[in-house]
Each structure stands twice: as structure tokens, then as C-alpha cells.
A = this chain, B = another copy of it.
Amino acid sequence: MTDEQIVRPTPISGFTEWLPEVRLLELAWLDRIREAFERYGFCSIETPSVEALDALMAKGETSQEVYTLRRLQGGEDDSDARLGLHFDLTVPFARYVAQHFNDLVFPFKRYQIQRVWRGERPQEGRYREFTQCDIDVINVDQVPLHFDAEMPRIVHEILTDLNIGPFSINFNNRKVLQGFYEGLGIADPISVIQAADKLDKIGEDGVAEILTGRLGLSEEQTRGCLDLAAIRGTDSSVIEQVKDLGSKSDLLAEGLAELAFVLDSLADLPEGSIRADLSIARGLDYYTGTVYEGKLLDYPTYGSICSGGRYENLAGSFIRRSLPGIGISIGLTRIFAKLLAEGKLPVNGRKCPSDVLVVVPSDERAALAGTTAATLRSRGLKVEVYHQADKLGKQIRYASRKGIPFVWFPPFEDGKPHEVKDMTSGEQTPADPGNWTCPAVS
């Protein structure tokens, strides 16, 4: 048979799958994200992949994005059909807090790294299944404002550590938007927020059309809304620019104070990496204060790489409590897949975690290869034994093809020493499995 005759199974659009050498990098990212979350004391939780549809639909997300389950032979009245795969980790988290309220210590700070699913048409940066890495805090009655600054600070630290290239975490405050619109005498500020969120997609003219047309705003109100959305910056001049537009309301003042606090708290971060952007609205209905949205600066039209915000009424809506929260989510798959596609990830020849391949000198000495490997493993090394006594060249080639940095040779006859070969330098030296240490490999 030749390769040409092989009919391979085809990938399913909207679902990612990586080769081992790429997965190795993704796993390293996941480890570093988790380490950072834990460094700040967030605890891990996981929720089921499904939620009751009622819970999923409690707040705002359009229902067409949800996948429901059906047993292959279940028929129409299947109770499983009332279960949907979660489309984010915030709604399941809010449900979790409500459900386990009496067993949690507040403020409850958790991280959650899981896959989520959306029944969307796949396109660049949009997947049907992808991994999100979320941190959130929910507390009873109030969540201190310092979290509004801490959330993007932690994500900034992580994205910098992951070396994803230039990025910016942009933020806004829903109270500023709503308060500003109210100050202009607009009766339905929520509809204006939803329209303003489309600015990226349909442009200023498109939004203006909705505002004056469908929503019946005056020319002056529309002008105000668009002027507000044009404001962005990294210092307190942003606040002044908003004030200069002349709208006034208590809510606006409150929102501006919060916006100023976040700007101020993050002033030490590198220029341009954190930015107030008054055009950000976020589509999800549950946000009520600070909102976040991250961008890869080299790919300005590419989707948001992290997002989140403050939600006052999400967890509390499941039970009769005031349970405000705030959180931020790193779009792991979205960032990783983009950098991979752009050739920006350091994919090298390493296709497995092994530090060492132990050669099998002969059938008679296979057991010796096994005990040698066991000794090395007991000292923390990652060690493969070649799977059979084979030509030496073939065994070494296997290590080379998998990118295993060291090949170990148990003695081929009694009285001879063990030897180890550095696959990068080609150097081969005597070594003792009981005390050899693996040099750091780049």
C-alpha cells in the first residue's frame, strides 16, 4: 500500500486538534496559567459540561449558540434534551456559587479552566469547542473595587509571561455608558449599549443609523454617543474628555470614579498595554460595571483574546441573595491557535516529554535496560525504554525523530560502564544512572 491510497478521517470544522509537539506547548501554557492563578490564591473548581437550559438561559446569551444533548436512540421527549453544553464558564460559576452557597467561604475566589461549546458558524478565531481560563470573585453584598484592577493585572502578568507579542487589555465601565446616555436624556440606554457594541462590525455610520433610525435618538444625542465611543487613552485625560462632552448624571459620575480608579491602579504597567476604551460595551447582558476586552495589537481585526467584567446580579438571580461578582477570562484556544497559525509559537522537534531514551542492547539485556530506566525515573527523570532489541542506529533514530535530548546506553557487555549521548552535541560519555543529572535543555 502507498500513502496515496490512504483515505484519512477528516477534521471536523470548528474543533481543534494538535499534534503532540504542539500539544506540548499548549500544556505548558495551561500549566503557567494555572500556576499564576494559584499564586494569587484562586482555588480550582470544575463544573459539569452541561447545565440545565433554564440556568444557561437565565441571562442574555442568544439561545442559538447553545448545543443541547440528545441520546442517539433517545427520542423526542428525552429529558437529556433539557441539558445544554455550557457556552462560557461565568454562568456555570454563578450557578455553582448559588448551589453551594452554604459550603463556600466568601469572598469566593476561583479559577476554572475548561472547554466550552458554541453552536456557531466556524470562522477565523471562532470555534465550536474551545478552552477558556477564568478567574472570578463572588462575594456577599459587595466586591471591593480593588478587584476591578487586580483582574486585568493578573491577566497582564500571564500574557506577558506567555510571550504572546504586543497586546492591550482594554476596559470600560457600563455605568459610564448608561449614565452618559441617561444624562443625554436617552430613555432606553440598554438598547444604545447594544447598538454601540456593534461599532467594530458595522462602523460609525451603521451605528448612527440604528440610533437615529430604530431607536429614535436626536442628531445631538447620536453625536454624543459616537463622540463618547471615540475616546480612549491610558491616563486621566480620558475622564476629562468624557466630562467635556457635557452629559451629567449620578451614575456617570460613579462610573467615571471607578474608571479613574482602575486607570490609576494600573498606571505602573507598560505603556499601552492597559487602556480605557469608551467604545467597549460587551455583548453579554449580565455586566453592570467594569468590562474588559483584550486585543493582539499585531492583529487588530482578530477577536477579543480576554474578556470579562463585573456582574452584580448573576449569581444572586439563582437564589434570593445579593451576590455580586467580577471576573476575567483568557481565551486560550483563540490566542494559541492564532499564534500557531502565524508561526509565532516555538514549535521545535520535541514531540514527547522524555528526557532520556534507554537503548535495549539485546534481548538478554532488556531487563537491564528496564532497571536502568527505573533508577533514572526514581530520580525524577522522564524516561522511555526502546520497545525492543533492535539495530542501534534505529533506536537512536527513534530518539532523534521524537526530539528526545539524551540517549542512554546500558553496558553491552559485563564490566563496561553505562554511557549517555547528548543528542545535540553528539558527545557520548560514561555515566552512572544513580547520580547522572540531566543538563537543562532549551
Contacts and interface: CB of A to CB of B under 8 A. Distances in A.
Contact of A52 (B3, B12, B101, B320): B12
B41 A352 contact: yes
Interface string A17-34: 111100110010000000
A8 B84 contact: no
A43 B23 contact: yes
Contact of A72 (B47, B48, B64): B64
Given A9-B98, A318-B9, A27 B1 contact: no
A352 B137 CA distance: 13
Interface in A118-152: 119, 129, 137, 139, 143-144, 146-147
Interface string A40-52: 1111111111111
A320 B5 CA distance: 8
B387 A146 contact: yes
A17 B64 contact: no
A10 B38 CA distance: 29
B387 A107 contact: yes
A387 to B, nearest CB: 5
A55 interface: yes
Nearest to A100: B19
A174 interface: no
A23 B46 contact: yes
Contacts of A51: 12
A377 B63 CA distance: 42
A341 interface: no
Given A45-B18, A105-B398, A320-B1, A72 B66 contact: yes
Interface in A82-110: 83-85, 95-96, 98-105, 107, 109-110
26 contacts: A1-B320, A6-B321, A8-B99, A8-B101, A12-B48, A17-B46, A19-B103, A38-B382, A40-B384, A43-B353, A48-B129, A49-B49, A49-B115, A64-B71, A64-B73, A67-B80, A68-B72, A69-B69, A69-B119, A70-B81, A74-B119, A105-B351, A109-B384, A137-B387, A144-B387, A144-B388
A354 interface: yes
Nearest to A390: B144
B6 A101 contact: yes
B20 A45 contact: yes
A68 B72 CA distance: 6
Contacts of A101: 6, 8
Given A9-B318, A43-B352, A382-B38, A129 B74 contact: no
Interface in A169-202: none
B83 A12 contact: yes
Shortest beta-carbon contacts, A-B, top 3: A41-B384, A15-B48, A71-B119
Contacts of A48: 12, 15-17, 129
Nearest to A84: B72
Given A42-B352, A352-B43, A382-B41, A387 B147 contact: yes
A404 B53 CA distance: 37
Interface in A346-389: 351-354, 357, 366, 377, 381-384, 387-388
Tallying the copies of this chain within the complex gives 2
Contact of A1 (B6, B115, B321, B398): B321
B9 A50 contact: no
A129 B85 CA distance: 12
A415 interface: no
A11 interface: yes
A319 interface: yes
A301 B27 CA distance: 37
A137 B70 CA distance: 33
A416 interface: no
A214 interface: no
A67 B64 contact: no
A402 interface: yes
A408 to B, nearest CB: 12
A84 B69 CA distance: 9
A109 B65 CA distance: 36
A5 to B, nearest CB: 6
Contact of A20 (B24, B44, B357): B44
